[in-house]
A and B are shown apart, each in its own frame.
Chain A
């Protein structure tokens, strides 16, 4: 059957294209992950990828100055003062931003590579999806649309041609006087109907299973909160440590939302929002930061005009909307990850320092968890005091490392993929 064969070929090519596009960005995922961790740990307090912060936006930095040469970049990062002495470009940066870059003497060349890999990755692929800053449609999705449209047009052309072909055949048969039964119209042709049904089944099945898998997941969930609380202003611009408010994450399974008295530690003194950038909500309406602080005062029962009369015991809790929800049969422990595992908050919560109202960045699916458990290396070298002494009982792995049978131990190796690590 010629038509179905050609369609099959087309579908195959289409699938192949999708496949290529979906894998192309996974190249050097490990470097990017390592770079991300470094970036969040060291750079993120001053730099953002796409926007100016305390320091310049780092997107596209390899196109600027001599930074394409990572050795130059390393020299600058390791000792900015020395580098700047003989380099007018960086002197200009200091003039523009008002302060000199902090020195990071312990960064290595490989790490610079990782960081740059992350920056490039974040600048090109992820940023447009995440932030409101994204200009133009992301490349991948536009390609998909183009390919989709092309396949559709080609499919229609193929159908028309087939129809033409059969008409011509009929005409030639008529001309030659061969009597044939009338061709079956398209909508009655069983082959077409079967193909159409199969196609519908496949498409419906794809969407159905995808929807079923996605049930209960809420990636990109960004509810309106009772107070417009900007993490960008607090954790980004003002660089308040995550653990100042979410200190519970260090101790317990819950990160816990700070109580009103923690907010009031600072906001007793800070009553208005004046200096920071303008804030917008999802619809683009401007937010009055001072009014939002006033909402906090209402919950706290605090009168800014009579600060000495404040009675913290009269405060009422704020009913925040919970964004990151795990099913009840999942045990997740924050302290396990950030304290024992030394994972950065941003690894799961995204670039929280750039978000105004928080939204869920990861889909929090089991596959996503497991993937990290597969890749994440643990602090294994207890002997040189960088690692956790707990792991000293894994004698065999230590021997294997010594004998170069394995180079690192991942969470997976110590049972991190087992059911009862998270489900009990």
Chain B
């Protein structure tokens, strides 16, 4: 259809033939056959007799393992059943995910007293609780059952931690120590969003409170103060913006409140076909971020140039003197963006991810110039997500060094790991007399403390969060505390001489504020209370000139620059011990279990790294040394197109030590030391780095090329808004060409064209639609799928062997000209799962009928029937079936199946996931699969069954929206619509009818009739993609109805169609 090339790996662009040949090998590495030495099978070291011996033994062992003896099972009822609890039925409790400053209102699904799944809280008439979640929110339930959590209070005696048996003893120990510590008392925390906790802190006598954020936003806080708003951050209304300009802010992935922003942003990306329009997203950045991947137009620059770009933009808008921008493309881009911003005064928004106060002041000036204040930026509800001021923390470290701090209490902050000068902090903390850590897990800072009193996990806690002024989201316990832990607020209350615990305090605080117990209970039930917005602030541009001058005085960046970024999975590293997150592929690089240096194609050339098939196909990636001042880091590289040539990007949150648990230990390299302090704030980039190719390799477990479509490109569709307006039927036309190819191949007779039976669907037919224009690749759905369906974690060594088990993956395609892969036009994210084909190629190759079709259109997988031939996986054109190569779940009858030399040693994380504690997170309604069976997306059949049963019990028809899949509810952008496509009033039917011009099925020429519709991505650019079919448009417009066998067969069929491969 288009001249653009969609590609997933450099091998496809540079060396397609070779890559294709390699992809056809089942095993990427040499297979470890012992003693073959190129001799025949007979002469091998393991001859026929041995084989028979093994056969005999394994048969006997299997018989024994199946065991004729049935164990006696007990059924132990409650002694006193709680009244509102029904064993076997899930209940949902409104609570709030709070991780440092991140806040997401959620519902915890509690089954038989155990939270097992997190859903977004959807509250009618709420501006805040709108149901979206992030990958980290979804994964947080697994942190509750982390076997490496701190389990009881500890006291360090002679460099060794000893358990303190009771809280009373602990209180006494700390109380005595505090009395004699002298000096000042300081509470060091990450950003605190809880109003009741803040009150407790304020009431604590002579307590100094310092907030410290791992990734700081103090540049923004200070800039807003300078612009007359106070030390605050406003609410951003992405839904009100028609033009969005981001100067390196990853607002869909990790910046401030991505769930909320993604929701607003996606509203502007939904296309009404009758009157197509959408918001326009310009992105300026050094590396390729997830948000940048979603941009309509993207411009790259050195990280140190951010200030210059901001000033240049302001200059174009008439507010400053234009600095010189060397790069012509960038300069043109700034002009274009400025023109667009001017044209959309009052409907535009500029955000910046910079932590430089001066840059943020310029951004404020731009926003003032384009009329963003009051329209797209809302100062009536300032947000509380980040409150740390870098200089305050720097002052604290100096005080500690000077020995003036007597008592240091720490909650949520981990500067020994994530401060740019961690060694300085580590030395300083030794000079503090009394150190106490309120922590959930042993981490780098907690290890250095004298007293440790573990905190509850948020799912065990009472609490509150005020993410925005006037909006409060409540926490309530969903499970009795698993370990001997205590809320840190209770400790603060006790040590301040208050006898109340936090639960009582919290309840009194809110019954007082809300006016009574009933109101309090309602608030807990709803989860969120919204009061009227009262804030107001006016912009003052007084600081702009000084900021402009300061930026003009910045040194020009030379050499290579390193920029630090957060991944959507690991973020700042607070949840790095979470196996689901570690195994989550990064949206852009598709890499799991590692961080790495992202480099440009130019940089690769400079380092002598060839982007050939070897680079792309084998997991071993060249390791380079990045040197900045005294800091040296050795990292593997990944090359991305569309990177600034002189920029290296490294994700933070990796390189943890053993204390945090075996999952995170030894994964990646800690990049925080590469940050630098500019005197006011910590910069997330550094200039003047040198690089060196060490000529060694490190394996990175990427998932992207695991699933080859065998050159079938018709899986992904996108176009530009201009093309879409000019040729609205560009996609239906393309579909018809594919279909025609199929019909022609089948002598134009539908019945002859297929060997599949006509499936009878008398009642429901489930269908799904995925809007690729809304999907931004955030991966929340992937983790939700893990949690809902007990999808196993396999560990890095197994991902390296293509054994990853994700039922749902998000494929990433780069769009570029065929000749110039580095000129990135855009990136498409395509969630790919079982398409539940009506003509499913997997079904008719199964020798044991373990996969077959249901009367509701589901392609069913029956694990207990599967014998593991993997024929189905091989015959699946979408490669969505997953095989349990090893016993990842411990569900096998053989106890030793997880540790055998034949399959290779399994990673520690698998054993962590099989720990009895961790297994509490398993969904009891879904079978835990054992080794040797295929599994795949089931459309969350357990939820569909439950929804139908609910309707039957209530003697009513199934309402639209009763049945929702886990990926659908997790999605912050409502990209996924699911329901009964036989119901003409259902959302899924409507989406399909209303989006006929964008809807398509993947690989339509195969005629597998999927039940998942995709809506093509539309980039908002002026590029017009002409194809050879447009001239036929007029006379074909009447023939676009689906499924008819009466299609006229066109003589000029596209040569790329491969319908014959279906047969």
Contacts and interface: CB of A to CB of B under 8 A. Distances in A.
Contacts of B763: 391, 393-394, 414-415
B762 interface: yes
A100 interface: no
Interface in A233-253: 248, 251-253
Interface in B367-421: none
Nearest to A424: B941
A21 interface: no
Interface residues of A, number: 56
B762 A394 contact: yes
A340 B854 CA distance: 21
Instruction: Point out which of A259, A316, A320, A392 has the most chain B C-beta atoms below 10 A from its C-beta.
Output: A259
B76 A320 contact: yes
The secondary structure that dominates the B interface is loop
Interface string B856-894: 101011111100000000000000000000000001000
Interface string B566-595: 000000000000000000000000000000
B855 interface: yes
B927 to A, nearest CB: 5
Contacts of B201: none
A393 B850 CA distance: 29
A321 B949 CA distance: 29
A389 B76 contact: no
Given A260-B80, A390-B955, A414-B762, A322 B865 contact: no
B74 A322 contact: yes
A87 interface: no
Given A321-B72, A390-B952, A418-B855, A331 B77 contact: no
Contacts of B860: 418-420
B70 A218 contact: yes
A420 B957 contact: no
B533 interface: no
B862 A390 contact: no
A420 B941 CA distance: 8
A328 B74 contact: no
Contacts of B856: 415
Nearest to A333: B949
B75 interface: yes
Interface string A213-224: 001101000010
Interface in A285-322: 299, 312-313, 315-322
A389 B72 CA distance: 42
A421 interface: yes
Contacts of B78: 259-260, 317
Interface string A15-59: 000000000000000000000000000000000000000000000
A317 B852 contact: no
Contact of B88 (A253, A419, A424): A253
B764 interface: yes
A259 B81 contact: yes
A396 B87 CA distance: 37
Given A253-B88, A329-B863, A424-B942, A415 B854 contact: yes
B79 A261 contact: yes
B938 interface: yes
A340 B949 contact: yes
A251 B74 contact: no
A276 to B, nearest CB: 24
B953 interface: yes
A321 to B, nearest CB: 6
B274 interface: no
Nearest to B789: A424
Given A388-B952, A390-B957, A423-B863, A248 B87 contact: yes
A391 B87 CA distance: 28
A321 B86 contact: no
B81 A318 contact: no
B630 interface: no
Contacts of B74: 319-322
A325 interface: yes
Interface string B70-113: 10111111111100001111000000000000000000000000
Contacts of B855: 414-415, 418
B173 interface: no
A257 interface: yes
A216 B76 contact: no
A261 B81 contact: yes
Nearest to B112: A254
A423 B949 contact: no
A261 to B, nearest CB: 5
Contacts of A327: 864
A340 B952 contact: yes
A251 B72 contact: no
Contacts of B70: 216, 218, 325
A215 B81 CA distance: 35
B982 A393 contact: yes
B257 to A, nearest CB: 36
Contacts of A396: 762
Contacts of A252: 86-89
B945 interface: yes
Contact of B75 (A215, A316, A321): A321
B146 to A, nearest CB: 25
Interface string B823-867: 000000000000000000000000000101011101011111100
A254 B852 contact: no
B66 interface: yes
A13 to B, nearest CB: 34
A210 to B, nearest CB: 13
A389 B953 CA distance: 10
A76 interface: no
B949 A320 contact: no
A331 B762 contact: no
A260 B762 CA distance: 46
B926 A336 contact: no
Contacts of A313: 80
A410 to B, nearest CB: 13
B928 interface: yes
B1004 to A, nearest CB: 26
A390 B762 contact: no
Given A320-B74, A329-B863, A424-B941, A256 B88 contact: yes
Contacts of A318: 76-77
Interface string A259-272: 11110000000000
A64 B89 CA distance: 50
A329 B891 CA distance: 11
A228 interface: no
A400 to B, nearest CB: 10
Interface in B891-940: 891, 925-928, 938
A76 to B, nearest CB: 35
Instruction: Point out which of A258, A333, A397, A424 has the most chain B C-beta atoms below 10 A from its C-beta.
Output: A424
B948 interface: yes
B849 to A, nearest CB: 9
Given A254-B88, A259-B78, A259-B81, A393 B764 contact: yes
Interface in A389-413: 389-394, 396-397, 413
B77 A258 contact: yes
Given A333-B949, A421-B945, A424-B926, 8 more contacts: A262-B81, A319-B74, A320-B77, A321-B75, A391-B763, A418-B860, A419-B865, A423-B927
24 contacts: A216-B70, A218-B70, A223-B72, A251-B86, A251-B88, A253-B88, A253-B89, A259-B79, A262-B81, A315-B79, A317-B76, A320-B74, A329-B863, A333-B949, A339-B953, A389-B955, A389-B956, A391-B763, A393-B957, A394-B762, A418-B855, A420-B854, A423-B862, A424-B941
Interface of A: 211, 215-216, 218, 223, 248, 251-254, 256-262, 299, 312-313, 315-322, 325, 327-329, 331, 333, 335-336, 339-340, 388-394, 396-397, 413-415, 418-421, 423-424
Interface of B: 66, 68, 70, 72-81, 86-89, 762-764, 850, 852, 854-856, 858, 860-865, 891, 925-928, 938, 941-942, 945, 948-949, 951-953, 955-958, 982-983
